[in-house]
């Protein structure tokens, strides 16, 4: 049996155990998927800065699609299809965003911090559980920005240092997150 | 990869593993198709109790294009549903979406042939067997629960192209509804009928494409 076929058989076996509820097997298969998903994203032309977002989307999709995997079939085509699709989704979403948004670093950095109030207000109004659920469904980078800037209330400088992202990137992700949180929690989507 | 990305991924993997519940792998797409088609058969059995079956059989024997049209609609329903279930599983080829095309062409072709055969002579008028609006209502009302059931079954999977899967679900439901219409409308389609059928099928497919995509995309 070739090395690739052997690796596929091993992953298929781990998936079978994961479907039965084996958490260790599930973690092992998800970890093995990270480099494979990253490679698929790079092959599809996803910019390096967005590859990790695609990887996290792939992991979330694997979680949702777990019952669709047939252990009698090879694992790699199943994973490749998910990774390729999420890479295309990422490229499309970047294309749409690029056509819609104007990038002005100074404007982002000088925008007042009133959005933190929105999160505090939502939490105070007894919406904490809904807020947590809505935050969990955000794309990984937006979730990270909300957790650090909104919930832990770190400054932009501290957050940039802790995450390794630029201040502008953090603030852009924070704005986008607040926008989707507002619309999901019934508030005004305009920031 | 930056350290923070690696930490975020590890965190996510930990959370996903924590939320892991045992799952039963979904049955094969053809089995799920048979389950959905059983609902079509149940509806057919219910309608058969209201229909004039001897008259229907006489009409079907007398008009071969009606047979073909019915067979085309029914085959389109089954094959489109099968294709929808196939495309809802990651890794299955998108070429599955082409599966119902030959049956769809048979359905449209045979219906058109029947319509042309019925074309009235110049100066005469053909009396429609059933008001076209009633046909339209029937097609939409019967398609809706079938599309709902199909979408509900598809939601258990993970369609990576939800728009395509939803479109196939719409085609399956409208094909099934069109074949069930024969119980109440055992006649060849007139031009008006054909136009109404076309509008209804297009409407159901379009609605499924729009609303089904939203549902399946979640």
Whether A10 and A84 share a structural domain: yes
Instruction: Report CB contact under 8 Å: A165, B4.
Output: yes
- CB A101, CB A179: distance < 8 Å: no
Whether A22 and A92 share a structural domain: yes
Whether A142 and A59 share a structural domain: no
pLDDT at A19: 95
Q: Which of residues 69-98 of A touch B (CB under 8 A)?
A: 69-71, 73, 77-82, 85
Nearest CB to A68 within list B8, B13, B89:
B89
Residue pLDDT, tens place only, A103-112: 666 666 666 5
- C-alpha distance from B21 to closest chain A C-alpha (Å): 5
- CB B187, CB B129: distance < 8 Å: yes
Cα-Cα-Cα-Cα dihedral sign, residues B40, B41, B42, B45: positive
Residue owning tokens 């295309």: A88
Residue pLDDT, tens place only, B120-168: 545 545 555 556 677 788 888 889 999 999 999 999 888 999 999 999 9
Whether A26 and A94 share a structural domain: yes
For residue A109, being part of any structural domain is answered with no
Whether A15 and A93 share a structural domain: yes
- C-alpha distance from B27 to closest chain A C-alpha (Å): 9
Whether A123 and A95 share a structural domain: no
Residue B200 sits at the vertex; the CA angle it makes with B197 and B203, to the nearest 5 degrees, is: 150
Whether A79 and A130 share a structural domain: no
Two structure tokens written together for B155 = 């939601």
Cα(A141)–Cα(B81) distance, integer angstroms: 37
pLDDT (average), residues B87-98:
93
The interface pTM score, or ipTM, of the predicted complex is 0.76
- CB B168, CB B76: distance < 8 Å: no
The reported pTM is 0.73
Chosen domain end from A54, A70, A100: A100
Whether A52 and A128 share a structural domain: no
Residues of chain A with pLDDT under 70: 1, 97-127, 186-191
Q: Is A127 exposed, middle or buried (0-12, 13-18, 19+ CB in 10 A)?
A: middle
Domain containing residue A31: 3-100
Whether A95 and A144 share a structural domain: no
For residue A175, being part of any structural domain is answered with yes
Chosen domain end from A41, A73, A100: A100
Length of chain A (residues): 191
pLDDT bin (cut points 50, 70, 90) of residue B175 is very high
- What CATH number should be reported for the domain holding residue A87? 1.10.1740.10
Whether A178 and A134 share a structural domain: yes
Q: For residue B93, what is the DSSP state? A: -
pLDDT at A58: 94
B4–A contact, CB cutoff 8 A: yes
* SS3 of chain A: helix, strand, coil, percent, to 5: 80, 0, 20
Whether A123 and A37 share a structural domain: no
SS3 state at B4: helix
- C-alpha distance from B204 to closest chain A C-alpha (Å): 27
Chosen domain end from A100, A127, A148: A100
For residue A106, being part of any structural domain is answered with no
pLDDT at A190: 43
Q: How many domains would you assign to chain A?
A: 2
Q: How far is CA B184 from CA A79, A158, B49, B129, B145, in A?
A: 48, 72, 11, 10, 18
């Amino acid at each position: 049996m070739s090395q690739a076929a052997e690796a596929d058989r091993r992953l298929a076996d781990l998936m079978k155990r994961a479907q039965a509820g084996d958490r260790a097997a599930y973690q092992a298969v998800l970890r093995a998927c990270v480099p494979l998903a990253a490679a698929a994203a790079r092959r599809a032309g996803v910019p390096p800065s967005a590859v990790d977002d695609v990887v996290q989307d792939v992991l979330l999709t694997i979680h949702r699609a777990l019952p669709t995997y047939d252990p009698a079939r090879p694992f790699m085509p199943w994973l490749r299809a998910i990774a390729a699709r999420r890479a295309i989704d990422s490229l499309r979403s970047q294309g749409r965003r690029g056509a819609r948004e104007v990038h002005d670093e100074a404007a982002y950095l000088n925008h007042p911090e009133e959005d933190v109030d929105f999160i505090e207000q939502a939490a105070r109004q007894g919406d904490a559980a809904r807020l947590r659920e809505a935050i969990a469904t955000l794309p990984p980078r937006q979730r990270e920005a909300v957790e650090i800037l909104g919930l832990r209330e770190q400054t932009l400088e501290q957050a940039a240092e802790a995450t390794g992202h630029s201040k502008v990137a953090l603030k852009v992700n924070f704005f986008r997150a607040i926008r989707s949180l507002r619309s999901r929690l019934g508030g005004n989507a305009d920031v | 990869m930056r350290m923070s990305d690696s930490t975020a991924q590890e965190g996510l993997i930990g959370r996903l593993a924590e939320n892991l519940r045992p799952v039963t792998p979904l049955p094969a797409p053809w089995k799920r198709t048979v389950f959905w088609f059983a609902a079509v058969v149940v509806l057919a059995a219910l309608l058969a109790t209201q229909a004039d079956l001897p008259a229907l059989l006489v009409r079907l024997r007398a008009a071969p294009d009606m047979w073909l049209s019915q067979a085309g609609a029914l085959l389109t329903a089954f094959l489109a549903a099968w294709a929808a279930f196939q495309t809802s599983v990651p890794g299955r080829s998108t070429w599955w979406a082409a599966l119902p095309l030959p049956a769809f062409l048979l359905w449209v072709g045979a219906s058109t042939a029947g319509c042309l055969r019925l074309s009235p002579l110049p100066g005469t008028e053909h009396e429609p067997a059933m008001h076209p609006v009633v046909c339209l209502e029937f097609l939409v009302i019967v398609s809706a629960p079938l599309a709902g059931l199909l979408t509900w079954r598809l939601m258990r999977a993970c369609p990576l192209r939800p728009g395509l899967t939803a479109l196939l679900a719409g085609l399956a439901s409208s094909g099934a509804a069109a074949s069930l219409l024969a119980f109440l409308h055992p006649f060849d389609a007139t031009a008006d009928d054909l136009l109404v059928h076309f509008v209804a099928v297009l409407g159901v497919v379009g609605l499924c494409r729009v609303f089904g995509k939203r549902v399946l995309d979640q």
